Structure 1
Amino acid sequence: MSSEHWDDVARIYAQGIAGGLATFEADMPTWEAFSRSKNAGLNLVALSAQNEILGWTAAAATSTRPAYRGVIEHSVYVYPKHSGHGIGSALLRELINRARKLGYWTIQSSIIAANDASRALHRKAGFREVGRRERIAQGTRGEVAGQWLDTCLYELRL
């Protein structure tokens, strides 16, 4: 993923924000803010044969503490019209491969409990649910705006 991809990445991200179940993010970050907070070696886009961005994944350190240097938290988004075609699975597989090569030992994600598709995708990729946080935050957009939501913590040990 590079700055040239940002318009399409942001378009996909904006749909996730608007729906309310993909993220607690309320506003679209700038490319600079987004890229500064992520590990560039783990930020990936899935491209069609026509170079259309179908989805993306990004990851960041979970902590600056040295003890957690091998733990990352990730996000994965697929353009809605391309969901159900294995793009999310392919992105996760590549993220896992790259993280392993870079020496990470755990990949985690906090998923809004009502996001059944994301939870199923992560289970399919080998992640396991290790916890649930009840009423952890209020939805910011979509049908869940203002509602208290639970999140489920998923992790994959590499």
Structure 2
Amino acid sequence: MSPTITVLTAAHADEVLAIYQAGIDEGNATFETTAPTWAEFDAAKLPEHRFAALDATGRLLGWVAATRVSDRCAYAGVVEHSVYVHPAARGRGVARALLDALIASTEAAGIWTIQSGIFPENTASLAVHARVGFRMIGTRERIGRHHGVWRDVVQLERRSPRIS
């Protein structure tokens, strides 16, 4: 059964942060070592570009959210996103449904680029992004240290088909 996609709100805060922390703990989702507070998360994420995937009982299966990449006018149509899925819900189309919702919202808002940086070891995330139209634009080698180890990050982007 496909998840129900809805707007992500403060009502989802505890589950959002728990899923975020689970991704952090697995080691291949982010350079972060602890999830932010809900206030920090809420302040950083664009309200019109964040969604929750729910199962039939209303339990949160995953989330997607976008942030501005810059306050400069030239980058007004560029966002960076994160997508996280509960470990028990992976492989069930949750990330795909969340990315589809994000793409629909950014297209409606005139966003021309969605970007993300993903660890190369996170092959499932790279694959689902490719399936929804993201392309690899390069690898930033040894871009940051994570638990004392230099890590590479694959840069992905999805350009709106409205932009030629």
TM-score for the superposition, normalised by structure 1: 0.95
After superposition, residues 85-100 of structure 1 pair within 5 angstroms as 85-100=92-107
The Cα of 1:131 is off from its aligned counterpart by 1.1
Q: Relative to structure 2, which stretch is displaced further, 148-157 or 111-120?
A: 111-120
* Equivalent residue, structure 2, for 1:142: none
- Identical positions, percent: 46
* Equivalent residue, structure 2, for 1:149: 151
> 3-state SS of the aligned residue for 1:151?
strand
Q: Please point out which of 51, 55, 70 is paired with 1:48.
A: 55
Equivalent-residue separation in structure 2 for 1:48 and 1:122 (angstroms): 22
Question: Once superposed, what is the RMSD of the aligned Cα atoms?
Answer: 0.7
**Which runs of 5 or more structure 2 residues have no equivalent in the other structure?**
1-7
Runs of 4+ in 1 over 2 A off after TM superposition: none
Question: How many aligned residue pairs are there?
Answer: 153
Q: Please point out which of 122, 127, 132 is paired with 1:115.
A: 122
Equivalent-residue separation in structure 2 for 1:28 and 1:55 (angstroms): 15
The Cα of 1:27 is off from its aligned counterpart by 1.7
**Which runs of 5 or more structure 1 residues have no equivalent in the other structure?**
140-144
Which one scores higher on RCO, CA 8 angstroms, separation ≥ 6?
Answer: 1
TM-score for the superposition, normalised by structure 2: 0.91
Letter in 2 for 1:156: R
* Equivalent residue, structure 1, for 2:26: 19
